[in-house]
Chains A and B, each alone.
Chain A
Amino acid sequence: MSSMFGASVQRVEDDRLLRGHGAYLDDLGGDALAVAFARSPHAHARITDIDVSAALDVPGLVAIYTYEDLPPKLAEPLPLLIPHPSLTHGRTPYPLARTEVNHVGEPVAMVVATDRYLAEDAADLIDISYEPLPPVVGLGNARQADHLVHEDVPGNVAANAVQKHGDTAAEIAAAPHVLEIDLEIERSASTPLEGRGVLASWDPHAKRLRLWTSTQTSTGVRAAVAAKLGLDLADVDVITPDVGGGFGVKIVHPWPEEVLVPWAARLLGQPVKFTEDRREHFIASAHERAQQHHVTVGFDDEGRILGLDVRFWHDNGAYVPYGLIVPIVTSTQLLGPYKARAYRVEFDSLYTNTVLVTPYRGAGRPHGCFVMERTIDAIAAALHLDRTVVRERNFIQPDEMPYDQGLIFQDGRPLIYDSGDYPALLAKLKELVGWDEFAAAKDAAAAQGRRLGIGLACYVEGTGVGPYEGGHVVVETSGKVKVATGLTSQGQGHQTVLAQLVADELGVRLEDVEVVTGDTRRFGYAVGTFASRTAVMSGSAVTLAARKAKEKAIRVAADALEVSPADLVIADGIVQVKGDPDSGIALGTVAVLSNPLRYAFDEAAKAATQFAGGDISRPPVAPDDEPGIEGRAYFSPVRSTFAAGMHAAIVETDPDTAEVKILRYCVVHDCGRLINPQIVEGQIHGGVAQGVGGALYERMAYDESGQLQNASFMDFLMPYVSEVPQRIEIDHLETPSPLNPLGIKGAGEAGVIPGAAVLAAAIEDAEQILIRSMPISPSDLFELRRAHGQEEALS
């Protein structure tokens, strides 16, 4: 039996999804009542009156709730999930607005009706009177603070945080060269194809709540909902159904809807379901938005960074339920694969009257990568050095690992890179894209009037963030192996990848392993799916759990076969003496034997009953043992493990229309050992598409009154196939992680991190115009050309 590790097996999820038999949130709860919300049309306003009388006439209306209806625990602000000492002015929303609204889309009244059409009719008829207040939109206005988002937050500053190592001021002062650069990046949002949704069902007899929600953390939701509804954890089940993409937005919890819907279900004694529509997703979920950075860098004649000072401002939207993760990740991952003698980073996180800002794939790394890579390119330009040479001179070398950057990472632990070989990655990338040959190609194109440019960008990613994940492996008497882990899936193929690991560890066939994720009934201790952590955390946990189950199975079989455990292996689901398959016992039978029975419920079970044999001098179940073949294990690493990658792109810009075409897109990638290479490549493809989308197409466009002008797929430009590179060329490097038993690193976010950086660099190379603000559209490029006095732009 060949190893499953490293095999690109077809996914076990596919068959039912391809047949249209997926079970996403809105596919469930056909008998549930429906929900719609009356949401604020203003970015900032006081609510002066709510008059529901006109809505009461709508047929099928069941209930309307406003803040005044909420019981004490629900009438408090929603939790601030990730506290931080620097987050001195954290503000979170109420589930339904109390006296004030702080962004367009904030929920004010909840309508429950027999279907969504009628619920929307009723919501439209609720007459809410507002007294508009001056909205704060954009970092400029937030910083200026002529107006405040929250009256009790001076300067609109939620937090100010500094991290540093070394003495940056001294290094910069003494440096032979100094550059100051302003860089701005506006990102976009996760926008999975499936929006949020929650379905709740209350059992009045057992007094238990069952909740389905399109989330990235079922245990997180359970804890929050139980707290808000005054229930014990044991009385709340949270089940994550099939999820149509998350990309970060579904890690936030509890959404207002996630506490209001179960509360209504309990009150009304009927299942209640909320499925958000696309407009709601744009104005009531979360974005990942603007950052403005001011960089001062001191460097020597070789281009080595002596002191790097980064000051930035982060727009966190109207509330900060997820804390400061995005700017903290920017702060700490900005250095990437480089070392700086001294580094200082300071940020202000500011409120604006816009939608919340929470992590989206990359979670602040794309910003940090953009800043670092543009800075390095600027150094190279100042010294007339090749951009790869400057990078090589600043790399942390493989023999310097583990390398302590002297900062505290988003997991609250020291930022120490455990492994990686950046020079080798760069060499592979240069080979793949043909870096050294490009200059000639560029000149040849220029002779034909074509503008080509090449860019590269490097990043490092702390993956497999803690605190822990767990795994449970059970061998059934049928020989099937049931695996459970508490984190969730949104399309990454977890059921396949984790099954591969268990199949290998336990020695069974892949098709006999069934994995369940995100169901608190099956596994109750978990953190969630984010930060590229599943393979590392749950992968390690289920492997360790399977190992325990294997050891138990071998022990029980050894007893039954009267051989030494050391002589036994498990292959193809048979516990056998090495090299003698006919000698073995099927794993299912071993499971039967492991559970001493009084009653034989079927033919196979007879072997485990009291008159069937066995050592009668010992108790049937030893004092330190349990019935059954099961293993439960947790994996909790001391810190994150560091993946890395480098992208290169060759673009062509149109001299007339300023359109940008990507001619080649190359990725070299190190996520340690690969469990399923096809799935890893799929993750990279998806990430690259989001990187391209974020660099060239996607941008949340708020007007000065805080209205989101492109709250639909018509005007928010997610890429179709025509907008992504026709080929993504990928090469791998594997530097195994020393921090987990499998030597793996996370891969989920890799594709997106350097997108803006690499495309900005390539466009700059093609145009010879500094690109310091992203995203960039053809219109933006046209205006930049004019500002730089390019005559061709005016013809």
Chain B
Amino acid sequence: MKPPPVGYSRPASVAEALTTLAALGPEAKILAGGQSLVPLMSMRLAAPAHLVDINRLADLSYVRHDAGQVRVGALARHAQVLASPSATVQPLLAKALRHVAHPAIRNRGTTVGSIVHAYPAAEMPAVLALLGGSVRLVSASGERLVSASDFFLGVLESAAEPGELATEVAFPVLPPRAGTGFAEISRRRGDYAICGVAAMVRLAADGTVDDARAAYLSVGPCPQVLDLTEKLAGVAPGAVSLSAAVQLVRERVDPEPDIHATADYRRHLAGVLTERALLESLGEAAGEPKGEAA
């Protein structure tokens, strides 16, 4: 399984990358981590005419936080984000990243790359969608910010256009009195999820639930975000009953079957994992140390 012939450029700056991308148009694919692209090329399922290798753009290898966002540059590897102190202001990042493949993949694959790849069974697109983050797309003719809700268009389809380089993804930090949770079931440890849930809950000043939402992996062509607030609003974390929320989820998600799981099993798991992710979120929001029973 060897890739087909391909052209190759390795720009030394973002500006050079953009000029190259503009010149090549739809024929070009960006090579960052390559953990998704290279196997597709080896299997000859993808045959871009030209690769623009951005691994020299060291300026893009940052993880920082400011103004309420955790900003992850295009070249920041998953492992780097996982280990970054800047990422701790949004605990959901580490919770989800731990489930991304295996350490060797995380050492090379990039979080931005995973988001642009837009595979619905991947963790980070769902996290971005849940948190309402955004993607900065830059091209020779300017730049634009695309919100998560507009970014994922279908299986392996994102809003990024030919000629555009995603230079950064921004994840909103965890607000006060909020908590997150992440739960996933895969067949083997590290596999793509059969079903996964990222959740966030925010409490009002009186300690009752003010906002609750969850995003789902592997239940549709794009990450699906569900607002569960109405099923939990006004209730204190210790007194919350999740069964109405779970039922709502099961009514709303419409997964497909595949060789690993039936649609009904996935739908069932969506409910089970929503409960787990919400419990984790409620516990964190209520300020309980991780690992203690509510």
Contact = CB atoms under 8 A, between A and B. Distances in A.
Whether the complex brings A and B within 8 Å at their CB atoms is answered yes
A269 B268 CA distance: 63
B259 A121 contact: no
Interface in B1-22: 1-5
A443 interface: no
Contacts of B272: 656-657
A786 B4 CA distance: 47
Interface stretch (A320-328, A397-405, A717-725): A717-725
A291 B198 CA distance: 42
B269 A657 contact: yes
B259 A786 contact: no
Nearest to A693: B188
A657 B185 contact: yes
Contact of A710 (B185, B243, B259): B259
A443 B130 CA distance: 42
A715 interface: yes
Contacts of B243: 795
A697 interface: yes
Given A715-B259, A717-B188, A116 B2 contact: yes
Contacts of B261: 777-779
A279 B261 CA distance: 23
Contacts of B259: 699, 701, 709-710, 715
A120 interface: yes
B262 A779 contact: yes
The B interface is mostly helix, strand or loop, or mixed, namely loop
A720 B43 contact: no
A723 B189 contact: yes
Given A659-B185, A717-B187, A777-B261, A120 B2 contact: yes
Contacts of A715: 259-260
Given A124-B44, A715-B259, A278 B1 contact: yes
A793 B268 contact: yes
A277 B188 contact: no
B264 interface: yes
Interface string B187-225: 111111010000000000000000000000000000000
B43 A779 contact: no
Contact of A777 (B3, B190, B260): B260
Interface string A632-647: 0000000000000000
Contacts of A709: 259
Contacts of A786: 264
A794 B185 CA distance: 18
Contacts of B4: 121, 124
A293 B190 CA distance: 35
Contacts of A717: 187-188, 191
A701 B259 CA distance: 7
Interface residues of B, number: 25
B262 A783 contact: yes
A783 B264 contact: yes
Interface in A774-795: 777-779, 782-783, 786, 793-795
Nearest to A722: B189
Contacts of A794: 268
A597 B194 CA distance: 75
A399 B286 CA distance: 70
A117 interface: yes
Given A116-B2, A121-B5, A779-B194, A697 B187 contact: yes
B1 A277 contact: yes
A722 B2 contact: no
B185 to A, nearest CB: 6
Contacts of B194: 778-779
B188 A723 contact: yes
Contact of B260 (A279, A659, A779): A779
A709 B257 CA distance: 13
Contacts of B192: 714
Interface string B27-56: 000000000000000011000000000000
B2 A782 contact: no
A120, A657, A777: which has the most chain B beta carbons within 10 Å?
A: A657
B2 A720 contact: no
B2 A697 contact: no
A710 to B, nearest CB: 6
Interface string A450-483: 0000000000000000000000000000000000
A36 to B, nearest CB: 9
Nearest to B44: A124
A204 B43 CA distance: 38
Contacts of A795: 243
Contacts of B189: 720, 722-723
Interface in A750-795: 777-779, 782-783, 786, 793-795
Contacts of B3: 117
Contacts of A710: 259
A429 to B, nearest CB: 29
A279 B264 CA distance: 31
Interface string A679-718: 0000000000000000001010100000001101011010
A658 B194 CA distance: 13
A120 B42 CA distance: 11
Given A120-B2, A715-B259, A782 B188 contact: no
A656 B269 CA distance: 8
Nearest to B272: A656
B1, B259, B269: which has the most chain A beta carbons within 10 Å?
A: B259
A658 B260 CA distance: 13
B39 to A, nearest CB: 8
A335 to B, nearest CB: 35
B99 to A, nearest CB: 12
A345 B188 CA distance: 37
A375 to B, nearest CB: 29
Contact of A779 (B5, B44, B190, B265): B265
8 contacts: A120-B1, A277-B1, A278-B1, A709-B259, A712-B43, A778-B185, A779-B261, A793-B268
Given A779-B260, A779-B261, 6 more contacts: A124-B44, A657-B272, A699-B259, A709-B259, A710-B259, A778-B185
List the 7 closest pairs (A to B, CB-CB), nearest first.
A722-B189, A779-B261, A779-B265, A701-B259, A117-B2, A277-B1, A656-B272
Interface of B: 1-5, 43-44, 185, 187-192, 194, 243, 259-262, 264-265, 268-269, 272
